[in-house]
Amino acid sequence: MNPARLVHPGFWFGKTPLEEALALAKRGVGGFCLYGGTRAEVAAFTAQVRSVSPLNHLLISADYEDGLGRWLPDAPLLPSNMALGAADDENLAFEKGLLTAKQARSLGVDWVFAPVLDLADNPLNPIVNTRSFGEDPARVIRLGRAFLRGLKQGGVLNSVKHFPGHGDTITDSHLALPVLHRSEAQLFAHELVPFQALLPLADSVMLGHLALPELDPDHPASLSIKIAHGLLREKLHYSGCVLTDALLMKAIGDEKQAARAALQAGANILLVPQDPNALIDFLEKESVAPEIYARSQAVQDALCARVKAVPAPSQQIAFAPSDFVRNAARKAIAARGTLPVFKPGETISYLEIGTDGKTSAAPFLAALRAHGVQPVAFNGETENLLILCLRRYQAFQGKIALEDKDEQLLRQALAHATHTTAVLFASPWALAATPVEHLVFTFSPAPEFQQTAAEILCGKQKAAGQLPVSL
């Protein structure tokens, strides 16, 4: 086996040169993990790299956890897992998986790195948050199973992550190594519960970059024989594909040494290294055990066969108009406190905080106007203040709390407002320490969720969801 097939590089549209990707494809890499792009760009890329690959099938993957819209501007943003947790509706979870799968396959992407099975049980976790179905393992299992069924019916491969679970950590593994202090018995009683239940449905398992010193004081889970082999393979009897989380993440140090350790621990695929060519050169000089190559080739061949057994739909069919996101919003949005009802002709002062520059509350504000309510930017003093919080998880940021400038703006506004209502479009914990009278939780900044939140505040809808986490 060509060592290159062990490696699945990342490709960032608008950043990674196409010539570099084509050269890697010709060299025999096993696949690519995509970031960004448009529908046309993704479809063109998948066709181009496959046309030059010597492999029978080149696997193309992406982190389409909330549908393709999390990465593609011309694809719909689907409800977050936490929104589905608030709706607690297995049919919605199935539909999300099916829609994600059809849209991905229509563009040539055949492997979706989802679902996240981490439990949302730590408000300070900067990277799990709304990616989780909630804090209750039983709910995560129910919804995760339905989502996996949808992905399978739509013809894509899945990947449960991040084994063995890093919900109760406070470090972004893109920047440093999270630490989870758990005994094996504690893991089996909590974090591992969803994995143990859903491993029979998993096409692959993504190892988390996190330290569990009680299980292995020397290696993170992604590089640990005790965890990747002893726990996952032997005690949980998982025999499918195991892959690392992205090797370029800062949690694991030198990626060549990390790659070698991961392969020895039982990983079959090395995902998204910083320098894929250098890593392949390194592997070609290493005396990697033949059984490691044989195992990787066997599991990748099996994955390819599974994908090719289900034909891909056309883009026209996959992206046909759907009421799915709007229906999900009506079941998912939750509230705390007796909400005010905004009346036509009423003027409401609002303060927008927590935006990452890519999201805004524009759909919400437009929906208020459509119902006859006039939102105006807060200008220093008001009787009724509407706080619009867009803070959400972001890789490589290291924290989920509001930035200092937003905290200061919020404190000043609260000091000059009589009544307060907040709409949290992502993280439900973003205003946990803030004295706000009324709270609306959408768990998603998708336009349909914003529009539905406006309808709720205008008395046109009820907030039907229930918080799947403790505040």
With a CB cutoff of 8 Å and minimum separation 6, the contacts of 126 are: 170, 171, 172, 393, 397, 398, 399, 400
**464 near 330, Cβ under 8 Å?**
yes
How far is residue 382 from each of residues 342, 454, 467, measured CA to CA in Å?
A: 15, 20, 29
Clarify whether 371 is annotated catalytic: no
- The residue extents of the domains of the chain are 3-318, 324-457
Whether residue 459 has pLDDT greater than 50 = yes
- Which of the residues 162, 166, 174, 219 is marked catalytic? 174
> Average of pLDDT values for 267-271?
97
> Average of pLDDT values for 96-117?
98
For position 470, what pLDDT does the model report?
94
pTM of the complete model beyond 0.85? yes
**454 near 371, Cβ under 8 Å?**
yes
Quote the mean pLDDT of the chain: 94
Selecting from 1.10.3720.10, 3.40.50.300, 2.60.40.1220, 3.40.50.10870, what CATH number does the domain 324-457 have? 3.40.50.10870
Between 382 and 364, name the one with better pLDDT. Answer: 364
Using one digit for the tens of pLDDT, what is the confidence trace for 212-221?
999 999 999 9
One-letter amino acid of 132: S
> Average of pLDDT values for 279-293?
93
Cα–Cα dist 415/131, whole Å: 33
Cα–Cα dist 435/456, whole Å: 21
Clarify whether 174 is annotated catalytic: yes
Q: Which of 162-176, 358-372, 388-402 has the highest mean pLDDT?
A: 358-372
Residues of the chain with pLDDT > 70: what percent? 97
What stretches of 362-442 adopt beta strand conformation (E)? Answer: 374-377, 382-389, 417-424, 438-441
Q: Write out the DSSP string of 429-449.
A: TTTTTS--SEEEE-S---HHH
SS3 for 184?
helix
What stretches of 37-140 adopt beta strand conformation (E)? Answer: 59-62, 111-112
Cα angle value 187/190/192 (rounded, 5°):
60
Cα angle value 465/466/467 (rounded, 5°):
125
Cα–Cα dist 174/269, whole Å: 19
> Average of pLDDT values for 33-47?
98
> Average of pLDDT values for 256-278?
95
One-letter amino acid of 16: T
Whether residue 375 has pLDDT greater than 80 = yes
For position 406, what pLDDT does the model report?
87
> Average of pLDDT values for 398-415?
82
Whether residue 358 has pLDDT greater than 90 = no
For position 251, what pLDDT does the model report?
66
SS3 for 353?
strand
- Which of the residues 66, 110, 118, 245 is marked catalytic? 245
Q: How confident is the model at residue 398 (pLDDT cuts 50, 70, 90)?
A: low
For position 383, what pLDDT does the model report?
86
Looking at domain 3-318, does it have CATH number 3.20.20.300? yes
Using one digit for the tens of pLDDT, what is the confidence trace for 154-197?
999 999 999 999 888 877 666 678 889 999 999 999 999 999 99
> Average of pLDDT values for 255-263?
93
Are both 3-318 and 324-457 of the same fold?
no
Q: How confident is the model at residue 396 (pLDDT cuts 50, 70, 90)?
A: very low
